[in-house]
Chain A
Amino acid sequence: MSSLSGVKRKALRKRAAGVLVYALAVGALLIWIGPILWMLPSAFKPTELITQAELTLWFEPTLEHFRFIFAKQQFLRYMLNSCFIALGATFVASLAGAMAAYAMRRFGSGGRGLTFLVLLVRMLPGVVLAVPYFIAFSSMKLLNTWSALGFAHIGFTVPFVVWLMLGYVDEIPEALEEAAMVDGSSRLQAFFRIILPLVRPGLAATAILTAIQSWNEFVYASVLTWSESAKTLPVAAADFVTAYSVLWGPMFAAGAIIVIPVFLFTLAVQRQIVRGLTFGSVK
């Protein structure tokens, strides 16, 4: 009898723990998703409803804020700038980072010091490098160009790619490349024909995360690109914090424009991300 109640108590405790875990998960999810849930409908709310003290859940949606940001501000241009910089930086960083990781693992390039350095660069707060970048690109007359921000983004995404790719390269047995080289492949051919196809899921996941980082990046963008020809979406969104007020409607609309493509993109490639991030975890 007592053992039965013990089993019951145990099951009850397990259940309570499960409920607690779920509650915590839901709480964490709400904290994360709350601002987004607030932002998206607000982008379609008339201005007077956004700023009023009471929360309005039912309203007639309006596109006035989107019209404002596309007609009065040059958001199409800013989107193009963001796309070009994110894609360019991702392509260069992914390829360069994968090659660097390969060299570090196979030839021990740079030794342990380089591996630590890569990690160190990741640990540095971005703002530390913002001013040196500003001075360097200013003296090269490259401020307000795609290339300035692109190179800065490559600078902080390459260590990220290297760090992730090191793990993926580790998973590939060296014997495979050696076999290819015995068959007459050069080292470069072995890298492109053997290593890259094998680490493709990991590289894809890394590239996706790199693109998202570059798309959302604000600190370097605000320091290096502030003209219409190179300004990116996050900096353009901050323009709505004006001298006297915050233009909440356009700000929410800009936020939606920034978040929705990333959201859709992530939804479309989530399988690759999961596959890439779990790549090699089960042998």
Chain B
Amino acid sequence: MSWSCLEVRERLAEFAVDALPAAEAREVERHLDWCPGCRKEAGEFQEGAARMAFALQAAPPPPALGSKVVDRVAVASGRHRPSSRRAIRVAAVAVLAAALLAAGSLTFALAMRGKVATLQQKVSQTTKDLNRFQELLQHLKANGKVFEANLVPSPGGAGGGTAAIVTAPNAADWVMVQVDVGTTSGGPYRVLLQQRSGVSILAGSLVRTANGPFVLSDEPRYFAADLSRLSSVVVLDHTGRPVLAGPVQPYTTG
């Protein structure tokens, strides 16, 4: 049952300074959505609260922050037109993601017996990709962050895989996933990115590639959200049951 105006108004001061418990704040927001009288009063308290912020001695933001803000909104609105320099950078990140996935896929390729020749080819290609990426990275002095998650099966399950997460200050964050789910049934599979805050982001569905493993459809998948605070990556089957999962950690070349 929703709150009355009286119940809401006695909480508006706390609401204005975000001093209400989350559940009560949500209840107040719901009320304000339809009640113009309480909305007006809430606005007055917020005017008072904003004075606290404006009383602070201003600190100069970093010079590049404005461009990052504009770029991030442009990406989120789907109007992102990378400059040529950024296009090169994005290309570099694409190579990185591919290389990471190739390197990660070695982990579960090792578990696949009787495929030595394939594995050797994979090692060779991976080494080339990584070298190419390192050259590009040095060239561009990229300051993005790279994370990986080695995905292992749930108890009783099979398969494995890797997720590569790339966060770049001047570009959209993105994710690539490559997994072997150990079975041909149970799909469609979905990938969930779990943030440290407890909020989860649905990265998308997996599709099977011609040579076997599953990857995200429309890979790499871009995100307006900041992906630098992920805690884990989880692959769910069609019932929502986790079949693969792994913690997100900074990528290390070692």
Q: Do A and B bind each other?
A: no
